[in-house]
């Protein structure tokens, strides 16, 4: 697997540096808190399955709240509140990592507030993710959930392209082929015949498609950018997340003011909120946090492959549980996913002209 080229800077969180004002233990010392790099395969599998199932449920529930519920809530407020929830959970996880609230507060001060340059790096993916998350609402207000799920799979080749351009990874022709095969396979597996659900709003499929295209580009770019920042130092994942969500809160609040400011003044911030809308926020938060954990332990391309396998497995499980029949399209999709995983893992050809034989390029952009 390609390795990032940037030097590993020691992080205060992982060293016993006592020069700082906080005297809290800088590494997780308790056996209850193993070093994050030493997680088991089972834990990775668990994160992947949860990430995938949460993402699929999120799409269906979001679509329902935008099209079937009567009072339409302000979607920008839901995106904003998701960032708030993710920040709170990340602060909680950091407390657990450093051993208490006081240590967490001083770590945040040291790592987030004082290291402004480091925090500034996360401004870019946070802005792009803010756009992506708002686009998901626009797309699902105008497109059927299955259509969105299928077209959104274009994020797989987009992520691969960003990994090549931004991380200097090299992919052989066979790996490129397997990535497109995977994209097609996942689309087939997720395809469901269009159901005529009662939709209470006017939809514009063109707007939905444009929003999906923007979300695809944002997903590829922001995912790889975050991976690059995360892996260019040994700074804790939770600190990186806190840095990003602080920006996220700022950016998404900008979205609330610009897009719905006047209407919110009249109707109220939580206008149209129901338990289902709260569920959308919860699912979006969980999905985002699990995504960050998966990217930490694998990479964005592996995340796509593993998520595809999780989609196949969870669809198979639900077919077994609900006694549904396998459709031809599902079998074709599953076969494509399996072949793509096999092809991606094949050793690269020993060819002089094969670009994959070359040393990985240095990362062109330093963050």
Interface positions with ligand C5P (CB under 6 A) = 86, 129, 133, 155, 219, 223, 226, 241, 244, 287-288, 291-292
**Which CB atom, from 22 or from 61, has the smaller least distance to ligand C5P?**
61
**Which CB atom, from 255 or from 287, has the smaller least distance to ligand C5P?**
287
- Closest distance to ligand C5P from the beta carbon of 219 (Å): 3
- Closest distance to ligand C5P from the beta carbon of 287 (Å): 6
C-alpha 277/C-alpha 37 separation (Å) is: 35
* Cα 303 → chain centroid: 9
**Which CB atom, from 67 or from 219, has the smaller least distance to ligand C5P?**
219
- Closest distance to ligand C5P from the beta carbon of 267 (Å): 26
* Cα 304 → chain centroid: 10
| Cα dist from 87 to 47, 103, 242, 244, 349, whole Å | 19, 17, 6, 9, 45
C-alpha 177/C-alpha 173 separation (Å) is: 6
**Which CB atom, from 170 or from 291, has the smaller least distance to ligand C5P?**
291
| Cα dist from 91 to 79, 94, 247, whole Å | 19, 5, 15
C-alpha 99/C-alpha 24 separation (Å) is: 8
**Which CB atom, from 73 or from 238, has the smaller least distance to ligand C5P?**
238
Q: Of all residues in this chain, which one has the CB nearest to ligand C5P in the complex?
A: 288
**Which CB atom, from 103 or from 280, has the smaller least distance to ligand C5P?**
280
C-alpha 101/C-alpha 105 separation (Å) is: 6
Contact 72, 66 (CB under 8 A): yes
**Which CB atom, from 12 or from 288, has the smaller least distance to ligand C5P?**
288
**Which CB atom, from 20 or from 50, has the smaller least distance to ligand C5P?**
50
Write the CB contacts of 90 (distance below 8 Å, at least 6 apart in sequence). Answer: 238, 241, 242, 245, 289
For residue 293, with 0-12 CB atoms within 10 Å meaning exposed, 13-18 middle and 19 or more buried, which class applies? buried
- Closest distance to ligand C5P from the beta carbon of 249 (Å): 12
- Closest distance to ligand C5P from the beta carbon of 83 (Å): 8
- Closest distance to ligand C5P from the beta carbon of 135 (Å): 10
- Closest distance to ligand C5P from the beta carbon of 215 (Å): 8
**Which CB atom, from 25 or from 157, has the smaller least distance to ligand C5P?**
157
**Which CB atom, from 28 or from 288, has the smaller least distance to ligand C5P?**
288
Contact 328, 207 (CB under 8 A): no
Contact 300, 179 (CB under 8 A): no
- Closest distance to ligand C5P from the beta carbon of 155 (Å): 6
């Amino acid at each position: 697997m390609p390795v990032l080229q940037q030097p590993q800077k020691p992080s205060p969180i992982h060293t016993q540096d006592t020069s700082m004002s906080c005297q809290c233990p800088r590494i997780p010392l308790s056996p209850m808190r193993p070093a994050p790099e030493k997680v088991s395969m089972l834990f990775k599998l668990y994160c992947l399955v949860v990430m995938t199932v949460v993402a699929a449920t999120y799409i269906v529930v979001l679509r329902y709240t935008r099209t079937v519920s009567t009072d339409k809530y302000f979607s920008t407020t839901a995106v904003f509140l998701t960032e708030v929830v993710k920040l709170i959970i990340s602060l909680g996880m950091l407390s657990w990592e450093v051993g208490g609230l006081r240590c967490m507060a001083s770590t945040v001060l040291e790592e987030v507030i004082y290291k402004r340059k480091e925090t500034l790096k996360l401004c870019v993916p946070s802005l792009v993710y803010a756009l992506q998350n708002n686009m998901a609402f626009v797309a699902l207000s105008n497109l059927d959930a299955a259509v969105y799920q299928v077209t959104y799979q274009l994020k797989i080749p987009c992520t691969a392209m960003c990994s090549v351009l931004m991380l200097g990874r090299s992919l052989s022709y066979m790996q490129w082929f397997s990535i497109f095969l995977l994209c097609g396979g996942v689309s087939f597996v997720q395809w469901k015949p269009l159901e005529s659900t009662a939709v209470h709003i006017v939809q514009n499929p063109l707007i939905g498609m444009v929003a999906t295209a923007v979300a695809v580009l944002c997903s590829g770019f922001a995912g790889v950018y975050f991976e690059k920042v995360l892996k260019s130092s040994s700074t804790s994942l939770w600190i990186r997340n806190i840095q990003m969500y602080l920006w996220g809160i700022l950016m998404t609040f900008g979205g609330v003011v610009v897009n719905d400011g006047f209407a919110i003044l009249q109707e109220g911030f939580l206008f149209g909120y129901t338990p289902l809308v709260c569920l959308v926020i919860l699912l979006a938060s969980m999905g985002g946090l699990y995504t960050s954990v998966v990217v930490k332990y694998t990479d964005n391309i592996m995340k796509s492959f593993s998520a595809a396998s999780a989609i196949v497995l969870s669809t198979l499980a639900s077919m077994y549980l609900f006694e549904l029949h396998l459709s031809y399209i599902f079998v074709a999709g599953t076969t494509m996913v399996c072949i793509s995983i096999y092809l991606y893992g094949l050793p690269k050809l020993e060819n002089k002209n094969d670009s994959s034989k070359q040393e990985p390029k240095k990362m062109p952009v330093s963050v």
